[in-house]
Amino acid sequence: MERGRGAVPTPPPEEAIGESPAWLALTQRLAAVAASGLPVLLIGETGSGKEVIARRLHQASPRARHPFVAHNCGATPDSLIESELFGHARGAFTGAIGDREGLFDAAERGTLFLDEIGDASPLLQMKLLRVLQEGEARRVGDTRVRAVDVRILAATHRSLEQAVRAGRFRADLFFRLAAVRLTLPALRERGRDVLLLARHFLARAAAEEGRVAPAIEPGLSEWLGRYAWPGNVRELANACRYAIRVAGARELVTRAHWPEVPVLDAVAEGRGLHAETRALEERRLREALHRTHGNKAAAARALGLSRQGLLKKLRRYGLSAEEREQATIEDLACGDA
């Protein structure tokens, strides 16, 4: 097929890409969630696109004209947490030669995205809980208390429910952050979205080099669909950049242009349809139980199963015990109220 000449077309925005039922089920909720103004907890594996969704929520919200500020919760030592969050006044400590705004100042009237909230230290959890409860904050070394007008979006690849049960995460903070919970599907659960995203990332990398997008050979397309994608969308994006910038793919991208992942290749080849089906079924069961707060009758109806059929599947995946643990978390929240 003859390729056109002239300006290289701009690839579509990444957040608009995806046709799989799992992705559409997520994106169809975004407009209502964005407009709600409620805190949102984004749950998903590393590299699955949590910040992309956070930015999309911000852009679709009434706060879109104000700042979007992102912060990695594991990146700040406890000694700097208060200054990082709330800023400090001149002379507050040695080296404070001027006033400095914090993250809440920078995100005023906008959105503060707290990435990897599961890595937050106990001190950071306490400081966040206080500002969320009181709606106000004070800079280090300042006597004035200021009202805070910031929407919080948080993200984690960890199970915060398990962290609450283990005493590593505060139950009261969990329920303040998780007014709305959105679970992002892993890339391996998104079917042909893998190819849509691969074409997008290849087109973007080629455009950066001033070239048109290459095609993907059928053998590579098949391999992309079988691979387990432990690094999810981020891994795919990096591999596409490698194929263009390092391996020098031009008209056609082949398996020879793809970065080598020998250990992970073996995992991908060995998964098999049965293992993937079991993983998907278990995920759907967990989501149904989560949405119905452990109500087995409601979960069975949502999944189109009989109650006995649901119980059989719960025993198969060892999920019955999780319902009792979820009830424990609810009890903790009620106790803190």
Q: pLDDT tens-digit profile of 284-336? A: 777 777 777 778 888 888 877 888 888 877 776 666 544 434 434 444 444 44
For residues 254 and 274, state if they share a domain: no
Verify that 235 and 331 share a domain, yes or no.
no
pLDDT attached to residue 8? 45
Last residue of a domain, one of 259, 282, 315: 259
User: Looking at residue 216, which CATH number applies to its domain?
Assistant: 1.10.8.60
Residue 332's pLDDT is 44
Count of Cβ atoms closer than 10 Å to residue 77 Cβ: 9
**Angle (deg, nearest 10), helices 193-208 and 232-245:** 40
What is the total residue count of the chain?
337
Q: What is the mean predicted confidence (pLDDT) over 84-106?
A: 64
Average pLDDT for residues 202-213, to the nearest whole number? 92
Q: Give me the amino acid identity at 180.
A: V
Contact 154, 70 (CB under 8 A): no
- Pick from 21-25, 119-123, 185-189, 273-277: least confident: 273-277
Query: Sorting pLDDT into bands at 50, 70 and 90, what band is 267?
Result: very low
- Nearest CA to 205 out of 230, 237, 241, 172 is that of 241
Each residue of 177-191: pLDDT tens digit? 999 999 999 999 999
pTM greater than 0.75: no
More confident residue, 160 or 303: 160
Both structure tokens of 223: 């391999």
The answer to whether 122 and 78 are in contact (CB under 8 A) is no
What is the domain-level CATH number for residue 273?
A: 1.10.10
Helix (H) or strand (E) segment spanning residue 70: strand 68-72
CATH number at residue 33: 3.40.50.300
Answer for the pair 136, 148: CB distance below 8 angstroms, yes or no: yes
Same domain membership, residue 74 and residue 132: yes
